[in-house]
Chain A
């Protein structure tokens, strides 16, 4: 949203100007000095839930959607993942469903509290669709 500059001064060197890396929790597509309406988190989530909810989604669109989603600086919300897992079900793609779980675990990086939370929230969906987690399959060990 707003890109400020803040000065970091060195005792020896001159003042250095460092640009803010995006705003605090600003949506992904905001640009400095742009007047475009910034998409809220809820709009973003809704857009992705809709994307994966397409009844006749095809395998390419699923992969493309997941790859794009993983490219963002966020871990997808449970509702987006739920929609994606259901798309996998429609495509009879169990492998991608489990891969999605692996991907979000990896996206969490050092934040170990995110993945257990996601599994907790997705538990009803995992049971309904019969999706095993990587942990169930022993795939999380090397």
Chain B
């Protein structure tokens, strides 16, 4: 059974029939040590991006809207539109 058919890299030894011993231990540990910090960092980046790209602009938009908000004027507009039950529009 020619094993070389199944390998996709050239063999390291002199003879073409003898494969070198690959690393067989700690493969998952190695992978995690590499990928988990990256995953952790990317998650933090994603959270930061969402915070500063979405939530902060949203909060700012609300703040800007209510900075110039005239509560009395808006109340009277709502009252005249007839949406309240406790107070009728002015003039009725």
Q: How many Å lie between the Cα of A75 and that of B26 in the bound state? A: 9
Q: How many Å lie between the Cα of A131 and that of B30 in the bound state? A: 33
* Distance from A98 Cβ to chain B, minimum over Cβ atoms (Å): 15
Which of B1, B17, B23, B33 has the most chain A CB atoms inside 10 A of its CB?
B1
Contact A25 B19 (CB under 8 A): no
* Distance from A68 Cβ to chain B, minimum over Cβ atoms (Å): 16
Q: Which residues of A contact B48 (CB under 8 A)?
A: 10, 12-13
Contact B8 A112 (CB under 8 A): yes
Q: Contact residue range for chain A?
A: 20 to 34
Contact partner of A114 (CB less than 8 A), chosen from B17, B24, B32, B41, is B24
Q: Interface size on B (CB < 8 Å)?
A: 31
Q: Which residues of B contact A8 (CB under 8 A)?
A: 37, 40-41
User: B28 an interface residue at 8 Å Cβ cutoff?
Assistant: yes
Q: How many Å lie between the Cα of A73 and that of B21 in the bound state? A: 17
Q: Which residues of A contact B1 (CB under 8 A)?
A: 119, 123, 133, 136
Chain B minimum-CB-distance residue to A6: B37
Contact A116 B29 (CB under 8 A): no
User: A61 an interface residue at 8 Å Cβ cutoff?
Assistant: no
User: B6 an interface residue at 8 Å Cβ cutoff?
Assistant: yes
Q: Which of B16-69 contact A (CB under 8 A)?
A: 17-30, 32-33, 36-37, 40-41, 44-45, 48, 52
Q: How many Å lie between the Cα of A13 and that of B51 in the bound state? A: 12
Contact B40 A73 (CB under 8 A): no
Contact flag A111-B33 (CB < 8 Å), given A18-B40, A73-B27, A123-B1:
no
- Residues on B lying within 8 angstroms of A by beta carbon are 1, 3-4, 6-9, 17-30, 32-33, 36-37, 40-41, 44-45, 48, 52
Given contacts A24-B26, A73-B27, A112-B8, 16 further A-B contacts (CB under 8 A): A8-B41, A10-B48, A16-B40, A16-B41, A21-B29, A21-B32, A24-B29, A26-B26, A73-B29, A74-B24, A111-B22, A111-B27, A112-B6, A116-B4, A116-B6, A120-B17
| Nearest 8 CB-CB pairings of A with B | A74-B25, A75-B24, A116-B3, A73-B28, A25-B26, A117-B19, A113-B22, A21-B32
